[in-house]
Amino acid sequence: MFSCTGAVRPCRATTLVLMALCGAACHSWHTERVTPEAVLATHQPAKLRVTCTDGSRIVLKQPLLRGDTLVGIGQRPREQRDMRIALSNVQQVATRRLSLGRTVGLVGLGVVVAAGVLGAIPIPHPDYR
DSSP assignment string, 61-111: EEEEEETTEEEEEEEETTEEEEEEEEGGGEEEEEEEEE-HHHHHHHHHHHH
**Single-letter amino acid code for the residue at 23:** G
List the CATH number of the domain containing 61: 2.30.30
8-38 pLDDT, tens digit per residue, is 555 666 666 666 655 555 888 999 999 999 9
Is residue 118 one of the residues assigned to a domain?
Answer: yes
Q: What is the pLDDT of residue 103?
A: 56
Query: Is 33 in the same domain as 93?
Result: yes
> What is the CB neighbour count within 10 angstroms for residue 4?
8
Structural domain of residue 85, as residue ranges?
29-97
Contact 42, 66 (CB under 8 A): no
The kind and range of the H/E element at 71 are: strand 69-76
Q: What is the pLDDT of residue 5?
A: 47
User: Which residues does the chain have with pLDDT short of 70?
Assistant: 1-25, 76-77, 99-108, 110-111, 114-115, 117-118, 124-129
Q: What is the pLDDT of residue 52?
A: 96
- Tally of structural domains, the chain: 2
Q: What is the pLDDT of residue 1?
A: 42
